[in-house]
């Protein structure tokens, strides 16, 4: 059987790309948002006013992680948290104007990252890659849901 090390490779890619992403953000004078926080803001740009449970699903982070990250994001003025009127257990996380202004710059950095990622690969290869990645993510999420 062939030896596989997809998980190891993914860890390395994640490590290096986070470092580069953070450096690029700084080079664009984005000093009060890092790549980890950006992942959370990113999902809110796609769908604002989400509960923390929703963000757990969207980001694949634990609720403990999100809880503390949101404190920092709120302190930095990127999001605000309000309690859901209809269900007082829920917290609704919303973007502020400040974070909306960052969207364009963040998108530029993201695009630079994507260009770097996929340098030297064809559209077909990229399509196949992202499809496989999505498939792997589904496998993992299904597993995590089945044995909590």
Partner DNA sequence: CAAATATAGTTCTATATCGAACTTTTGTCA
Partner DNA sequence: TGACAAAAGTTCGATATAGAACTATATTTG
Q: Which of 43, 105, 30 is nearest to 70 (CA)?
A: 43
Q: Rounded to the nearest whole angstrom, what is the least distance from the CB of residue 121 to DNA in the complex? A: 24
Edge-to-edge strand list for the sheet holding 79-83: 50-51, 91-95, 79-83
Query: Among residues 10, 81, 87, 103, which is the contact residue for its own copies, using CB under 8 A?
Result: 10
Site for its own copies in 32-91 (CB under 8 A): 39, 42, 59-62
- For 94, the 3-state DSSP assignment is strand
Beta-bridge partners for 51: 92
Q: Which of 11, 25, 28, 81 is nearest to 52 (CA)?
A: 81
Binding site for DNA (CB under 7 A): 15, 18-19, 22-23, 34, 36-37, 39, 51-53, 60-72, 81, 84, 86-92
Nearest CB to DNA, comparing residues 23 and 135:
23
Q: What residues make contact with its own copies under the rule CB under 8 A?
A: 2, 4-21, 39, 42, 59-62, 110, 113-114, 116-121, 123, 125-130, 132-137, 139-141, 143-144
């Amino acid at each position: 059987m062939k030896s596989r090390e997809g998980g190891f490779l993914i860890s390395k890619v994640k490590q290096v790309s986070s470092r580069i992403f953070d450096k690029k953000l700084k080079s664009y004078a984005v000093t009060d948002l890092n790549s980890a926080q950006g992942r959370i803001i990113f999902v809110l740009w796609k769908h604002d006013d989400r509960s923390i449970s929703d963000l757990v699903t969207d980001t694949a982070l634990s609720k403990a992680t999100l809880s503390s990250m949101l404190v920092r994001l709120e302190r930095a003025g990127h999001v605000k948290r309000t309690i859901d009127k209809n269900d007082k257990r829920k917290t609704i996380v919303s973007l502020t104007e400040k974070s909306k202004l960052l969207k364009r710059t963040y998108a530029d950095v993201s695009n630079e990252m994507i260009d770097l990622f996929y340098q030297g690969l064809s559209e077909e290869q990229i399509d196949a890659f992202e499809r496989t990645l999505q498939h792997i993510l589904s496998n993992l999420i299904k597993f995590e849901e089945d044995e909590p």
